[in-house]
Amino acid sequence: MKRDCSSGSQKRSAFGAGRIVLASLASHGFPSGYQDSRVKRFLSKNGLVILGFTFILSLIALLAVGLTQNKNTPENFKFGIVFDAGSSHTTMYIYKWSAEKVNDTGLVYEIEACKVKGPGISAFASNVQDIPVYLSKCMGRAKELIPKYKHHQTPVYLGATAGMRLLRMENEQSAKRILASVTSFLNSYPFNFRDARIISGSEEGAYGWITINYLLGKLQKKQNSEDPSSRKNESQETYGALDLGGASTQITFVPKDTNISSPIKFMQFRLYGWNYTVYTYSFLCYGQDQALLLKLAKDTVETPSGTLLDPCFHPGYERMVDISDLFNNVCTREYKDLFPFDKLRIQGTGDFLQCQERLHNLFPTTYCRYTSCTFNGVFMPPVHGEFGAFSAYYYTMKFLNLTSDKVTSEDMVIEKMKQYCSRPWKEVNTTYADVKEKYLSEYCFSGTYVLTLLQVYNFTDYWKHIHFMHKINDNAEAGWTLGYMLNLTNMIPAELPQPKPFSRPTYISLMVAFSLVLAIVFILGSIIFHKSSYFQK
Ligand SMILES: Nc1nc2c(ncn2[C@@H]2O[C@H](COP(=O)(O)OP(=O)(O)O)[C@@H](O)[C@H]2O)c(=O)[nH]1
Ligand SMILES: [Ca+2]
CA of 245 to the centre of ligand 2 (A): 4
Instruction: Kindly state if the Cβ of 120 falls inside 6 Å of ligand 1.
Output: yes
> Using 50, 70 and 90 to split pLDDT, how confident is the model at 235?
very low
Instruction: Kindly state if the Cβ of 392 falls inside 6 Å of ligand 1.
Output: yes
> Is 389 labeled as ligand-binding?
no
CA of 395 to the centre of ligand 1 (A): 8
State residue 521's pLDDT score.
75
CA separation for the pair 105, 94 (Å, rounded): 19
SS3 for 354? helix
Q: What is the DSSP letter of 385?
A: S
Question: For 7-34, what is each residue's pLDDT tens digit?
Answer: 444 444 444 443 333 344 344 544 456 5
CA of 162 to the centre of ligand 2 (A): 8
Name 261's Cβ contacts closer than 8 Å, sequence gap at least 6. 370, 371
Instruction: Kindly state if the Cβ of 163 falls inside 6 Å of ligand 1.
Output: yes
Closest CA to 321 of 301, 284, 347, 303: 347
What are residue 2's DSSP bridge partners? none
Residue 118's alpha-carbon distances to 86, 91, 122, 134, 182, in angstroms, are 11, 11, 11, 7, 15
- Locate all alpha helices (DSSP H) within 263-366, ordered by sequence: 288-302, 323-327, 352-360
> Is 249 labeled as ligand-binding?
yes
Ligand sitting nearest the alpha carbon of 88: 1
Which residue's CA lies nearest to atom 8 of ligand 1?
Answer: 392
CA of 528 to the centre of ligand 1 (A): 81
CA separation for the pair 177, 425 (Å, rounded): 42
Catalytic residue flag (residue 204) = yes
Burial of 498 (0-12, 13-18, 19+ CB in 10 A): exposed
Measure CA of the first residue to CA of the last residue in the chain; give whole Å: 24
SS3 for 156? strand
The catalytic residue among 204, 410, 442, 477 is 204
State residue 453's pLDDT score.
98
Which residue's CA lies nearest to atom 28 of ligand 1?
Answer: 395
> Using 50, 70 and 90 to split pLDDT, how confident is the model at 122?
very high
- The dihedrals phi and psi of 442, each to the nearest 5 degrees, come to -110, 5
CB distance 86 to 161 below 8 Å? yes
> Is 248 labeled as ligand-binding?
yes
Pick the range with the lowest mean pLDDT from 78-87, 279-288, 476-485, 497-506. 497-506
Instruction: Kindly state if the Cβ of 245 falls inside 6 Å of ligand 1.
Output: yes
Name 5's Cβ contacts closer than 8 Å, sequence gap at least 6. none
CA separation for the pair 114, 109 (Å, rounded): 15
CA separation for the pair 97, 224 (Å, rounded): 27
> Is 431 labeled as ligand-binding?
no
Instruction: Kindly state if the Cβ of 162 falls inside 6 Å of ligand 1.
Output: yes
CA of 364 to the centre of ligand 1 (A): 25
Question: For 398-445, what is each residue's pLDDT tens digit?
Answer: 999 999 989 999 999 999 999 999 999 999 999 999 999 999 999 999
Instruction: Kindly state if the Cβ of 289 falls inside 6 Å of ligand 1.
Output: yes
The answer on pLDDT for 349 being more than 80 is yes
pLDDT mean across residues, the chain: 87
Give, for ligand 1, the residue of 84, 87, 441 to mutate: max count of ligand atoms closer than 8 Å to Cβ: 87
The answer on pLDDT for 175 being more than 50 is yes
- Higher per-residue pLDDT: 348 or 38: 348
Question: For 55-104, what is each residue's pLDDT tens digit?
Answer: 777 777 777 766 666 555 567 999 999 999 999 999 999 999 998 764 55
**pTM recorded for the entire structure:** 0.82
Question: For 447-475, what is each residue's pLDDT tens digit?
Answer: 999 999 999 999 999 999 999 999 999 99
CA of 392 to the centre of ligand 1 (A): 5
Q: What are the sequence ranges of the domains in the chain? A: 2-71+502-536
State residue 498's pLDDT score.
72
Question: For 203-216, what is each residue's pLDDT tens digit?
Answer: 999 999 999 999 99
**Is the predicted ipTM greater than 0.90, yes or no?**
yes
Which residue's CA lies nearest to atom 23 of ligand 1?
Answer: 246
Residue 44's alpha-carbon distances to 51, 110, 286, 473, 522, in angstroms, are 10, 67, 92, 67, 15
CA separation for the pair 334, 328 (Å, rounded): 10
CB distance 77 to 96 below 8 Å? yes
> Is 250 labeled as ligand-binding?
yes
Instruction: Kindly state if the Cβ of 529 falls inside 6 Å of ligand 1.
Output: no
Q: What is the DSSP letter of 253?
A: E
State residue 533's pLDDT score.
67
- For helices 352-360 and 410-421, the axis angle rounded to 10 degrees is 110
Instruction: Kindly state if the Cβ of 161 falls inside 6 Å of ligand 1.
Output: yes
- For helices 34-42 and 14-29, the axis angle rounded to 10 degrees is 130
State residue 74's pLDDT score.
63
- For helices 162-170 and 201-215, the axis angle rounded to 10 degrees is 170
